[in-house]
Amino acid sequence: MLGPDAYVAPSGHLNYVKALIESQVSEGADYIAVNVDAFCEDHPQVAIDIMVEYARLVSKWGNGVPICIDSSNDDILIAGLKEWYTARVKNPKFLGQPLINSVKVHTMDKILPLKKDFDFAFIGLLESNEAPTGPGGLHSIDELYSMAEQIFEKAVGEYGFKNNEIFFDSTVLPLAIDMPMEPGVPAYTYRTFETIKKIKSDPKMKGVHCCLGVSNCARDLPGRKVGLCRAYIAKAIEYGLDAAIVNVAHHYGQVAPDPELLRLVDAYAKMDGSAERMNRAVELMSKFCKESRRPS
């Protein structure tokens, strides 16, 4: 739409991107996350080309902060990684080790071998093509942990990754729909947090990170989304979370969460399938929605 010079010619759009990158850097971001999957389904090559351009922009304006190349498409991940190292050669300012988001059990043999030529860390997304066998037709905590083990053993044992170059994402479901429809089925949030605890308790995985895309927890709720994310992170930290994909301007982990919102997240974190704990979560969510909904 902006023509062949869209990424170099001054414009309001480009100024916005520059300001966004620089603001996240100034607020202390460890990575600048870039995801262009909105273009992927209908125009996969366009998405690849955009990721390449954004890798250049982050290398130019990120003051050395590395990119997090985020995509569900492996070709986009690979293109962004290669361009980051092309920019790293051209840019006299040191550019840090990039982060790939994400590697899965069924994609790891395509992505992890790139470590030989391109130094990178990665997020291991705990999802599988295999049918889940856990309660409610979802992956159990043990199944999620097993995926982490498979990725870890392959990354460290075969491709030479260090433990601290691995981040595991047990995924976030919106609290608004995290309500099991069958008795005895734990909440998704319960599984997410307990999986983090299980990974972090494993001595062989000492030093690995756990990371979540936290903003998803507040989707479809009527208000207080930043506050809810703050409470979600605070509770997840108790289970071992030490990384998150967030807008760092909100200072998550630094500003104390609202106790009432913390109680709400805690109720979901403890929803183990018992009727008592499910009723508690329903009660607190109903109260939250009633108080947060704007008057018509």
Start-to-end Cα distance in the chain? 39
Position 186 scores a pLDDT of 96
The three state secondary structure string of the chain is CCCCCCCCCCCHHHHHHHHHHHHHHHCCCCCEEEECHHHCCCCHHHHHHHHHHHHHHHHHHCCCCCEEEECCCHHHHHHHHHHHHHHHHHCCCCCCCCEEEEECCCCHHHHHHHHHCCCCEEEEECCCCCCCCCHHHCCCHHHHHHHHHHHHHHHHHHHCCCHHHEEEECCCCCHHHCCCCCCCCCCHHHHHHHHHHHHHCCHHHCCCEEEECHHHHHCCCCCCHHHHHHHHHHHHHHHCCCEECCCHHHCCCCCCCCHHHHHHHHHHHCCCCCHHHHHHHHHHHHHHHHHHCCCC
CATH 3.20.20.20 fits 105-296, yes or no: yes
Position 1 scores a pLDDT of 47
Where do the CATH 3.20.20.20 domains begin and end in the chain? 105-296
Position 296 scores a pLDDT of 58
CA–CA dist 290, 222 (Å, integer): 9
Angle between the 74-90 and 44-61 helix axes, to the nearest 10 degrees?
Answer: 30
Tokens at 24, concatenated: 């996240």
- Identify whether the C-beta of residue 70 lies closer than 8 Å to the C-beta of residue 120: no
Q: Sign of the C-alpha dihedral, residues 113, 117, 118, 121?
A: positive
Beta-sheet strand order (sheet of 32-35): 32-35, 67-70, 99-103, 121-125, 166-169, 209-212, 243-244
Position 3 scores a pLDDT of 66
CA–CA dist 14, 184 (Å, integer): 51
Q: Report mean pLDDT in 10-residue bins for the chain, 296 residues.
A: 77 95 97 91 88 95 95 96 88 81 97 97 94 86 97 98 98 96 94 98 98 97 96 98 97 95 98 96 96 77
